[in-house]
Amino acid sequence: MKRLFLILMLSTAAGASTLPGFRVQLLRGVPGFVTSLAVDSHGTIYYSVKSGDIIRFGATDTVVAHLPTLGEGNSGLIGLALRDDHTAIVHYTLPNQTYDVVSAVDLGTGIESEIHRFACDKDVPERGVSTEHHGGNLTIAPDGSIFLAIGDFGAPLLAPDPAWNAGKVWRILPDGSVVQFARGFRNPFDLAWDAATQRVILTDNGDVADDEIDVVAEGDDCGWPYTAGNEPPKAGTRPPVYTFPTVIAPTGLAPLSGRNPILHSGYLLGSYVAKALDYIPDVYAQPMPDPVAVIQNETDPIIDVVEGPDGSIYFASGIGIYKLIVPMRGDCNGDGKVDSADVATLTKLLADGPRPMTSAQNASVRGSWGCDANGDGIIDSRDLAMLAGLVRRRAVRK
């Protein structure tokens, strides 16, 4: 049985289609269904599984805590973030979906300290609600605020109603007070905080072909269920900045910090239906350009993605954890090394004219994003000059 499991996991990594120069490395298959990933300042990976465990990834995985939940539908232990190297902040549902709970967990002792619980049924909390649409991941702002989104519990009319906790983005301030930040969402799985603009960036799973990317300020109403996707927005609501043309079921969202040599800004986004890892360079561009699939046609859904302290990218399917290997700067043909063959490839690619890094694969000669040798986001003659000089210096050293 163990051998069969390993074969299945290896076939998952091998079945993925990646852009030139990108590779998928399976770190390990894991027990349970992974719902979220987090990485501490030393590069240690933690992950949560729906049934309630927080697990430290290592030579031997270690369960550091178990939360009192049941993993059913879109409920269970569904969110994990690190406040520091010693403390996880989690989002989980109590059995029968009576409350969505946010707690701090000591990663050394496993002791849970509840921060806040959101009643699912505002009138009779112990009655509970559906297992569906409880949202998922959470994020922690530089000031210590906790942001999370809770879905509409499969009852759309709860989303615009300020009296209900469903269909909202919430901010828990460091002093413990709770602010209803925005409303009108169907089922947002993950979100990111942009401190510079005081905006939340999140994705919302649509009802039909209307999966969205939203950029929201405090007090915004994003319109669900009265409007969604590219439908005309209801008066007073904020439309999405992007609507996916087909159903992808967006999942984990990772902001990029500048530490990765290729993916140094923007966001990475996983998807459940499309089984893809998309790169989003800029959510503020008008109109926002189409995301680019770095990985597509994975065997399993991609549930979460995260950036480590050294810029490494990790992602999880439901049953495995992987590392995304990015092209080296100057590796224009994507073969994993920088040499004269890359100069030849870049010369041919530039015959089509300058282009954004993210469209290197669309030239008449299919290149990798490593063609952007100087890292300015544009592939042009300056990259050719830098690459030629780099190859000459390496030849002299040899």
CATH code for the domain in which residue 305 is found: 2.120.10.30
- pLDDT tier, 392 (very low <50, low <70, confident <90, very high otherwise): confident
**How many Cα atoms occupy the beta-carbon half-sphere of 15 within 13 Å?**
13
139 occurs within a structural domain: yes
Tokens of 357: 């890094």
| Pair (319, 359) in one structural domain | no
For residues 245-259, give the mean pLDDT.
97
Q: Higher pLDDT residue, 270 or 8?
A: 270
| Pair (313, 364) in one structural domain | no
Residues 41-78 have pLDDT tens digits of 999 999 999 999 999 999 999 999 999 999 999 999 99
| Pair (378, 276) in one structural domain | no
**Is residue 11 scored above 70 in pLDDT?**
no
161 occurs within a structural domain: yes
1 occurs within a structural domain: no
- Of 270, 291, 325, the last residue of a domain is 325
Residues 111-129 have pLDDT tens digits of 999 999 999 999 999 999 9
364 occurs within a structural domain: yes
| Pair (320, 346) in one structural domain | no
What is the per-residue pLDDT for 397?
67
- pLDDT tier, 395 (very low <50, low <70, confident <90, very high otherwise): low
| Pair (247, 378) in one structural domain | no
| Pair (186, 320) in one structural domain | yes
- pLDDT tier, 213 (very low <50, low <70, confident <90, very high otherwise): very high
Please report the beta strands in 173-276, taking only residues with DSSP state E, as ranges in sequence order: 178-183, 191-194, 199-204, 212-216, 242-243, 250-255, 267-271
CA distance 27 to 321: 6
151 occurs within a structural domain: yes
- Of 279, 302, 325, the last residue of a domain is 325
| pLDDT > 70 fraction of the chain, expressed in percent and rounded | 95
| Pair (38, 149) in one structural domain | yes
**pTM surpassing 0.85?**
yes
For residues 347-357, give the mean pLDDT.
97
- Of 325, 350, 365, the last residue of a domain is 325
The amino acid present at 62, given as its one-letter code, is T
**Is residue 3 scored above 50 in pLDDT?**
no
For residues 325-340, give the mean pLDDT.
96
**92 φ, ψ to 5°?**
-145, 165
For residues 202-228, give the mean pLDDT.
97
What is the per-residue pLDDT for 123?
97
**Is residue 16 scored above 60 in pLDDT?**
yes
| Pair (351, 321) in one structural domain | no
| Pair (289, 347) in one structural domain | no
| pLDDT > 90 fraction of the chain, expressed in percent and rounded | 91
Give me the chain's average pLDDT, please.
Answer: 94
Domain count, the chain: 2
Structural domain for 368, as ranges:
340-397
What is the per-residue pLDDT for 393?
79
> Residue 357: helix, strand or coil by DSSP?
helix
| Pair (344, 274) in one structural domain | no
For residues 230-245, give the mean pLDDT.
96
**Is residue 196 scored above 70 in pLDDT?**
yes
CA of 111: how far to CAs of 21, 62, 104, 106, 339, in Å? 43, 15, 8, 5, 53
Instruction: State the alpha helices, DSSP H only, in the chain.
Output: 2-15, 340-350, 381-397
334 occurs within a structural domain: no
- pLDDT tier, 318 (very low <50, low <70, confident <90, very high otherwise): confident
**Is residue 4 scored above 80 in pLDDT?**
no
331 occurs within a structural domain: no
What is the per-residue pLDDT for 398?
62
| Pair (58, 94) in one structural domain | yes
**56 φ, ψ to 5°?**
-90, 125
Tokens of 243: 């609507």
10 occurs within a structural domain: no
- pLDDT tier, 394 (very low <50, low <70, confident <90, very high otherwise): confident
| Pair (269, 365) in one structural domain | no
